[in-house]
Structure 1
Amino acid sequence: MSWFTEFPHLSDATLRDLRKLVDESFREFTRAWGGTFETVFEPLRLFLIWSENLMLNTPWPVVITVIGLISWFASRSWQITAFTILTLLLIGWFDMWDDTMRTVSMIFVCTLVAIAVGIPIGILMARSNRMQAFVNPILDVMQTMPSFVYLIPVVMLLGIGRVPGVIAVVIYAIPPMIRLTNLGIRLVDKDVLEAADAFGSSSWQKLKNVQMPLALPTIMAGINQTIMMALAMVVIASMIGVQGLGQPVLRAINNQYFTMGMLNGLAIVGIAIIFDRVSQAYGRRLQKHLEISHG
């Protein structure tokens, strides 16, 4: 009756041989193609370094002024702008400015990469049910896979450093960008599309002048969620050498520094709230503008 009480499974030797085969195959792949992948991602590394140097070398009053102005023009809310400026001043006051600027620059690069990759995939999904049926299960796996797992193949392929961290963060954070781009385009009113067809619009003109503008509020929600997920990945990415607010948090966990962990954790929360409130307010403004222009 052992078969009834104990679930049947492969023998330990078979499992060991199978794992060994897969691991050795991936190691061979990384040895053969690792250099090629590093060359391909070299522009991303240079862009990340440029972005980080820009944030670190720009005087802090200029950075706060620029971010405050962006917050105001995006949200048109004095409360959100005041919160943004106050949060940045407190971060600097508690000596977390450099780490925060590194984190902001990384989130900026990750978000741009996610937009550049996610929007075209979302458009393809919206235009093809077959493409949607193919991509959706992949997105399901990406969203449910434990975030630590993403670090293993990326580190084996590219080693420790900035670029592997960016790639791991983008893989973890990109599904909302793809899903909401697809959803936004599919939700565009059929009557509007029929009117565009009646005016003789080509498929590209219809996408550029009708579908994308009307889907923009939903796409902005996707950008918002991508930023939030990227920030959630910051601490985990610090395990593979990504500098920023995640590294002090990781150091605090390893050495039981309660205050250091709490302060840097609160800085991450503050940055997340700024990104969230500003992008949400901008999305609402877009929605109102579109309702007025199509009302």
Structure 2
Amino acid sequence: MDKLIDLGKYIEQGINVLEESLSGLWGAIDDVISWTVEFLNDTFLAIPFVVIIALVTFGAYYANAGKQAFKKEGLKKGAGLALFVVLGLLLIWAMGYWKEAIQTTTLVIVATIIALLFGIPLGIWAARSNTANAIIRPILDLMQTMPAFVYLIPAIFFFSVGNTPGVIATVIFSLPPAVRLTSLGIRNVPEDVIEAGHAFGATDKQILFKIQLPLAKTTILAGINQVILLALSMVVIASMVGAKGLGAIVYQGIQQNDIAKGFESGLGIVVLAIILDRITQAVAKK
């Protein structure tokens, strides 16, 4: 059947125009992201793995135990997660994938920071403006339902292969929860609390930063947790455009039909996901 509307052709033409007219911008973005990822990789890999394990373990323990970290009650709360962190990270190191685990973590950190830098302000805007919300929501629906592989095509077109297109595709895929949950948290702030703030003469800026954001903090942190987990779920797909890390090992296992390599690297991703999930959940609860 012949096409009645060749929508893909017009989208391709639009992408070509963007690539040609903003080539300098794409090059600058590529340089910044590539440099940041490589700098963080080199920095983390220069630190002995024992030190990193110790720091992450203490961070996980303190996130769970809180103010009771140095008391007996805190030991009961945080010991389980701390033990899992130690065993999980030692397992990754023992399997020989420490470098790839650091590369994956770096990619997730950079993608998460970029997603939050855009997602939280957009969520605030959507919460405070019905017009903005009506515009942003269908865009988020498109971003969440579009197959993740589709994002790789324009990412390669603008940035060639490497870590940058992987980071950009990961940002697009993981951005929606940050926007949605920030907007949801602010909209769920009780109206009488906001009215009380206005009654005491608070400005809109004070209402936002002194009332709405503090009361929406738990929901916003839940959004951050979802962004991190979605970013981790993208590492295998990002490896198809040259992103380094455990995802690249999984992809090699698929190509080579190597069950051992695929399972070990996949297990490493699971360990990282559980550690990051439990730490962010513990922070959100407090």
The answer to whether TM tops 0.5 is yes
Show the counterpart of 2:189: 188
TM-score by length of 2: 0.91
Where in structure 2 are there 5+ consecutive unaligned residues?
66-77
Provide Cα deviations, 1:125-153, integer angstroms capped at 9, x if missing partner: 00001100100000000000000000001
Give distance in 2, aligned partners of 1:203 and 1:145. Answer: 36
Show the counterpart of 2:211: 210
Give the drift of 1:23: 3.3
> Cα gap change, 1:45/1:176 in structure 2, threshold over 3 Å: closer, same or farther?
same
Count of aligned pairs: 274
Which amino acid letter does the alignment assign opposite residue 92 of structure 2?
I
Give the drift of 1:256: 0.5
Show the counterpart of 2:36: 47
Q: How does 1:9-88 map to 2 (within 5 A)?
A: 9-10=1-2, 22-24=11-13, 26-76=15-65, 77-88=78-89
> Cα gap change, 1:225/1:18 in structure 2, threshold over 3 Å: closer, same or farther?
closer
Alpha-carbon RMSD across the aligned residues, in angstroms, is: 1.7
Q: How does 1:90-239 map to 2 (within 5 A)?
A: 90-239=91-240
Q: How does 1:226-265 map to 2 (within 5 A)?
A: 226-265=227-266
Give the drift of 1:28: 4.6
Say whether residues 1:274 and 2:266 are aligned partners.
Answer: no
Provide Cα deviations, 1:29-63, integer angstroms capped at 9, x if missing partner: 42342332111443333222221111111111111
3-state SS, counterpart of residue 40 of structure 2: helix
Give distance in 2, aligned partners of 1:27 and 1:123. Answer: 32
Provide Cα deviations, 1:172-200, integer angstroms capped at 9, x if missing partner: 00100100000001111112212221221
Which amino acid letter does the alignment assign opposite residue 10 of structure 1?
D
Give the drift of 1:75: 1.9
Moved more, 82-91 or 72-81: 72-81
> Cα gap change, 1:281/1:172 in structure 2, threshold over 3 Å: closer, same or farther?
same
Moved more, 80-89 or 191-200: 191-200
Give distance in 2, aligned partners of 1:24 and 1:189. Answer: 47
Show the counterpart of 1:5: none
3-state SS, counterpart of residue 10 of structure 1: coil
Give distance in 1, aligned partners of 2:8 and 2:175. Answer: 29
Give distance in 2, aligned partners of 1:20 and 1:219. Answer: 39
Aligned-pair identity in percent equals 41
Where in structure 1 are there 5+ consecutive unaligned residues?
1-8, 286-295
Give distance in 1, aligned partners of 2:8 and 2:127. Answer: 38
The structure with the larger Rg is 1
Give the drift of 1:21: 5.8
Contact 1:249 1:264 in 2 (8 A): yes
Which amino acid letter does the alignment assign opposite residue 231 of structure 1?
L
Give the drift of 1:271: 0.6
Moved more, 269-278 or 21-30: 21-30
Give distance in 2, aligned partners of 1:74 and 1:140. Answer: 33
TM-score by length of 1: 0.88
Give the drift of 1:25: 5.0
Give distance in 1, aligned partners of 2:44 and 2:263. Answer: 24
Contact 1:34 1:158 in 2 (8 A): no
Contact 1:75 1:281 in 2 (8 A): yes
